Amino acid sequence: MSPRIPLSQPPTSPAPAVRHLTVDEESAGQRLDNFLIRELKGVPKTHIYRIIRSGEVRRNKGRVSADDRVQSGDVLRIPPMRLSQQAEEKQLNPAPARQFPVVFEDEAFLAIDKPAGVAVHGGSGVSFGVIEQMRQARPDAKLLELVHRLDRETSGLLLIAKKKSALKALQDQFRERETGKTYLALVKGVWPARLKVLDQPLHKYLLADGERRVKVTTKDDPNGMHSVTLVKVAALIAVPAALATQLPEGLSLLEVTIKTGRTHQIRVHLSHAGHPIAGDDKYGDFELNRQLARAGLKRMFLHAWRLRLSHPVTGSTLELHAELPDELRPWSGGRPEKGD
């Protein structure tokens, strides 16, 4: 009788173990709950608060509360914890590593030129985005965090912090509207030169399928968000002969500076003014988009072109540029130049 061959067992992930985290200098003064939420990625917040309340989290071997401030050198004992199913799936199927064109980089942060069609982070039906891919491509980086966001369809400048102090300083600048964010947008028709300021509140809502949308609303709408967009005409763009009948006035290339960073702000403000962005599949002229695609413009012409900010460490003024990508340049009329 032949010997019985044992059945192979499916691989199992190692059992979670006690962890000890040492608080670094940059995290000094942070609330314990916020520190753990950042450090224990993939662990539900409810679990984090539960282990704090139960005393399973220890600081320097003593009990600690969620609102206590951690200090540099503190040693935190973290009990064994399992990741959420979504986090485990991400560990088993990590994002593919990818580098993106770097416009600026130092020890505090970097600015990349994000291509169109790439989400900045995973979620909402997208398993991964720029930040997950960059973390895979830079495994030795202690921290990589998004400072702000860009729509998936928008290309251009995107800031990523490499230090917690830089993340906070840069996000404070964005929140206090101390940065200058200028986009290039190609729109239908001739933009009125007198129309330089769009000051219209925006209201977010969901479609029946759960997709997010935004619309201009009235000043007395309690859910309206104050939104200001500044517009400057950079050039008037002639269209190919095949579009001349449909677009006798051609297109306008605009420099658009936002004073508030609302969801889809530029797209909604320009469309509401009667000049939708070329190629915009949510708020645009859909028939025009089809004609433009046949003529070679196969994406939305919205590009985060210029960003003025104060360096988060030195305080010096920086002006960053991401020039138009190859697929948009033929539609720009050679404008604007970097120094404009």
Q: DSSP letter for 142, please.
A: S
Length of the chain: 340
- Type of residue numbered 60: N
Calpha distance 302→297 (Å, rounded):
12
What is the DSSP track for 231-286?
Answer: EEEEEEEPPPGGGTTT-TT-EEEEEEEESS--TTHHHHHHHHTT-PBTT-TTTS-H
The helix/strand/coil state of 69 is strand
CB 256 within 8 A of CB 230: yes
Active site residue 280: no
Which of 24, 67, 74, 151 is the catalytic position?
151
Around Cβ 90, how many Cβ atoms within 10 Å? 18
Residues sharing a CB contact under 8 Å with residue 274, sequence separation 6 or more, in sequence order: 189
Bridge partners, residue 112, by sequence: 102, 158
Calpha distance 55→240 (Å, rounded):
70
Q: In Å, how far are 70, 71, 316 from 22, measured between CA atoms?
A: 10, 9, 32
Calpha distance 147→172 (Å, rounded):
10
The helix/strand/coil state of 321 is strand
Q: What is the DSSP pairing of strand 302-310 with strand 155-161? A: parallel
Catalytic residues: 151
